[in-house]
Chains A and B, each alone.
Chain A
């Protein structure tokens, strides 16, 4: 018989065992009687010789080798029965655990998808990104095109290197005019990533030249919706930005380069004037490590090349190093600490849930003391009891975990969609085996956590002492253990409450910050000009004038301006500047955010003018270049001296200095939260009308229109879009936002964290209160005889209340003390992880502590009142 057969035939085996032993006894008795012993005595002697039948059976069962499993099933059934007897307790425990483990599982599922899973490329761990790095401005630099070629040729540690930059334009044929996001990519990009194209081929090296025949790779989704996935798409023509491209390939469905793009064109064909410049660091570069090359080796080689280039091109490359990071790090970006933070916070909630269930179980274990000691007296081993207690808690833990898993199943996707902005790799967030293991793991861990205390207690009790005491009053150690539970719960709740409090205060402060401009009633949108007008600069300028003119006279529009960069929206342009004729070394050159705007920009945005004037209609090509700076730059470069009329040298503008004509207020370009921490804060405004022709051509693909309205801005959006379709009907507005939305969105991260922490803290508070209530009710019930005695001896209701509340207050105070220390540490952590975070302050603590104290005392009030209403006579009779 196999062990499982033995297991299944347990009942039959039990019968056989019984039969076998009875046969033995009967035979023995018969023999003894046959030898002349009296029947009564014979029976007695036979029994004595065999020993206690139950003990023998136990030993025989042990000998079977399936004992542990049988015991497990027995314990399991027993646990179910015990829980069914107290459905309220079981429901509270299971729900608490389900909430805790469900929330934790959701967080882990997100963390797993975003951080732990490898990227969806073959051998993704060998993919790296390269960034320029200077001492002053850190690692946020891209590559210039000539520099990219240098690295491509020089690198040996990287098997292949590829570059890309943003593009985009209007596709006019086949089908309707539509603005498409695009990417200019070097021919090796697809092979570096290692994702085969869905159909067709990637670019050839000879197509990566200026003037080569225009070719394009289109995205899978564009292929689906514009070409219905037709296999004849390869080789077809696509009119994009007025140029006819031959479609040579269709990219893989999930391909993403910082967001989805619909059209890929060869980088080498780009007519962007920046392609020739060594000083324009606009390319994103990624590479694939050679087999057997480590990241550190690649880093060393990149630094060597960087030093060589610094000597070769001191003007642009001096002080410029190159850093190598895994691609996954770049894809994930700054979400990493947030995810860990949230997982940490949610684990605290889970921990509180565990402590709660532990204290409930402990209370139960104490009331079952007599039962347990009886079992010990009847011969149950200590280990056996321990196992039984753990089985019981595992039943709770696993049912909680299973329910939690269901919650996670339902909750993960809504959670991801609530993530502020877009969560990188959101498509990778799925419940897979890792998440499953995690969920099972934590529910087992929790069971162990909250099952161990009662179990150890049960096994460690001194038998006779408990039997003698009648299991009435909990021992000192039990009371202390309960105290520890309450302290732990309160402490954890304090940590979460204080964190939520600091986040709330931070959010309040940040949203009351002056963004530096008037966000109300402003609509901004990208404009994609008709491809036809982009061929010729004069036509382009005329088209912009037409747009401004039409918009200005549109009903509901107050004023209108063009701008290449919009505050609080992704996308900015930085240039170096200096205020004395000598250019500092490149790595020391201060940077400023440049905005190319039309004169009405100041009115549209409501930026305050400090000195001088803003750009006006007189600032045209041919006139001296005028520039307006912000407070910050004025402070940095001119230290309080009036800057108006002073010259300023702006990198890449002209060899001559430009003239500062005015100073305006600082605009929080990086968002309400992020601006104070960002490295580049100085701002420069230049007039669109003073741009040279080549720049007009480039900028015309990225210009936005900003409109101040006298009505609700979004109401204007759709009619304005129709009004501005242009004579060819192929001019489009896209990426339409109100400035209020953008300003709001810049606090999304803080708001999101506040919400989550607020929910966690509320849960923690609720759980802690339930815990305190439960523990105190239990402890008070145990003390009823004592209280009765006290009252019989003359204690008043008030005395009893004070006694009970005093006991609870001690535990709560200790919890708060521990919690405050934890909260200080949590505050430090938050300060590092969240932009614009306020330092932990006394008032937050004061508020949180009083909330907690009030809630906790309220929770203890009910048991205390009940205790004070004890009838001394009946209480004493209980004894």
Chain B
């Protein structure tokens, strides 16, 4: 028996053949006893299976809330919101961390590559307090000197007093400049990630979290009403 003939006979029993195929098979059945015998076998098997009694389910298979879990089914958009909010949160933490580390990386960079441009932050920190009193002292004496300079009773000439008045200012400027510029290099380096981006990310996190909360609450209330 060819597989093709077997399929034809089986489909014929189920009425799945086209009228032309059925007619062709019927003419063969009348002339081929073997084919007819196989069809009888198939028909018997099919008939026995169809006579098999249908059994009642031994119990009800209805589900309880405990079986399906306490969490109500979330709206379809929920996973998308969760994904976007989680991604935004991770990116926010990453950018905050990156911006925090950026100045430290920038201050370390010259020591490795520029050769004597700035020195390291520890040296700067140790030197800064020592320089501060030295610069403040002349400034404190310079102010009264400058005020006294125009007075005719002054013992110093105007040129001298002007020189005295300028000198502390120059000294002050010279002594403070390295402190300010190093600090700027260390702490005022432009952040890797613009703050605007972080604000946008934070906004997505907050809005996403709020929307997820609302969706969840709405699903729970619907679940309680319907389920």
Are A and B interaction partners? no
Which residues in B have some Cβ–Cβ distance to A below 8 Å?
A: none
